[in-house]
Amino acid sequence: FSQRQSDENTGFIAVENFTSLVEHHELQLDPSKLDMLLALVQSNEDGQVCYQELIELMSSKRSSSFRRAIANGRRTLQREILLDETGLGLYKRFVRYVAYEILPCETDRRWYFHQNRLCPPPVFIAIVTIVQIIVFMCYGIMLNKWVLQTYQPDFMKSPLVYHPGHRAQVWRFFSYMFMHVGLEQLGFNALLQLMIGVPLEMVHGILRISLLYMAGVLAGSLTVSITDMRAPVVGGSGGVYALCSAHLANVVMNWAGMRCPYKLLRMILALVCMSSEVGRAVWLRFSPPLPSSGPQPSFMAHLSGAVVGISMGLLILRSYEESLQKQCSWWVIVFSFITFLLFAIFWNIFAYELLGVQIPPPP
């Protein structure tokens, strides 16, 4: 390639010459790289291939023009689909499953599959889940109560629970995600965030997924402080629903390209489970089984987390390599979220006194 890197030293090579070199090369190229080379040729509209693009591709980097070709869907792969590969180890089979679960494009799936590395591991969701389980077990043992823990006064005295009477303690707007009403809420949240959050983090990285999760958590507590001003908040449902709604919306938007098995059935089951959890939260809020024996946490965190997932999550999951900073719509979403954040801060400072809201005394 280096001897014929360009036509007349222009830095470009004609597609016909490039194709001939690819078809008659003597080197043992990675089959996945060969697929990418052919895809790069087919995506080119100017009849030329840049030598720098070739170098970046062979060194496991995708140039901006190649990313655009992938985004525009103007290329095809010559080999069979990724599912047909045999003789894979357990980890690579799991990576292949994740690729088909998360990515809607075969070239993206193939690229992710061959470039995936075990380091860094998807630690964010795992750490959050472990901490939630540990905190729940500590309070369960201490209170000798494993369901409807909010009806235990000592539970509500925790410095982690968001309570409107303690809203000046800013960390509570985040830390409430480690507390749960009972075993059923913890089990539901832990199962969903592990099943959906871990594959998402493997593909999109810890920064994007932690941002999405924490944005859902913060939006949950702030929304409750505005719409349900007397209610406390516990549970990580805001972050969980942000992950779930972002993934489900991504599947719907790329329905034809998704190759995850039984996607329609799984979509229906996920929606039924999420709707049931919201319905349960609404029931606990307005018709608690033990009236006046304890506060009823709000359900608005579930809904606000879903809104964050659909709005912010779709942009985060649009492409696992595309830079968020280069997307104009991303900055629109960020500006909207910051505007909501500022409004919620002023609301929490002034609205309670102006509206004369009678807040239950904090524990």
Q: What one-character-per-residue DSSP string does 283-327 give?
A: HHHHS-SSTTSS----SHHHHHHHHHIIIIIHHHTS-SSS-GGG-
Residue 215: how many other CB atoms lie within 10 Å: 25
Written as six digits, the tokens of 269 are 């089951």
- If asked whether residues 186 and 312 sit together in one domain, one would say yes
Which residue range(s) make up the domain with 21?
12-72
CATH of the domain at 177: 1.20.1540.10
Task: Give the single-character DSSP code of 362.
Answer: P
Q: Is the pLDDT confidence value at 6 over 60?
A: no
How far apart CA 203 and CA 317 sit, in angstroms, is 9
Q: Catalytic: 166?
A: no
Written as six digits, the tokens of 248 are 């489900």
pLDDT at position 124, please?
95
How far apart CA 169 and CA 157 sit, in angstroms, is 13
- If asked whether residues 141 and 239 sit together in one domain, one would say yes
pTM of the predicted protein model? 0.79
- 213, 299, 269, 309 alpha-carbon torsion, rounded to 10°: -30
- 60 inside domain: yes
How far apart CA 65 and CA 47 sit, in angstroms, is 14
Q: Give residues with Cβ within 8 angstroms of 229, minimum separation 6.
A: 164, 351, 352, 355, 357, 359
- If asked whether residues 64 and 127 sit together in one domain, one would say no
- If asked whether residues 65 and 147 sit together in one domain, one would say no
- If asked whether residues 194 and 330 sit together in one domain, one would say yes
Using an 8 Å Cβ cutoff, are 221 and 298 in contact? Answer: no
- If asked whether residues 51 and 157 sit together in one domain, one would say no
- 236 inside domain: yes
- 241, 271, 334, 208 alpha-carbon torsion, rounded to 10°: 60
Which one from 180, 204, 247, 302 is the annotated catalytic residue? Answer: 302
- If asked whether residues 143 and 202 sit together in one domain, one would say yes
- If asked whether residues 160 and 252 sit together in one domain, one would say yes
Q: Which of 220, 250, 219, 233 is CA-nearest to residue 108? A: 250
How far apart CA 22 and CA 131 sit, in angstroms, is 52
Q: Catalytic: 293?
A: no
**Tens digit of each residue's pLDDT (9 = 90 or more) over 238-275:** 999 999 999 988 888 888 778 877 788 888 888 888 88
Total domain count, the chain: 2
Residue predicted with more confidence, 113 or 292:
113
Mean pLDDT score, 63-71: 49
pLDDT band at 88 (very low <50, low <70, confident <90, very high): confident
Q: Give residues with Cβ within 8 angstroms of 215, minimum separation 6.
A: 242, 308, 312, 337
**Residue 361: exposed, middle, or buried by beta-carbon count in 10 A (0-12, 13-18, 19+)?**
exposed
Which one from 43, 237, 298, 311 is the annotated catalytic residue? Answer: 237
**Tens digit of each residue's pLDDT (9 = 90 or more) over 109-142:** 877 887 777 777 889 999 999 999 999 999 888 8
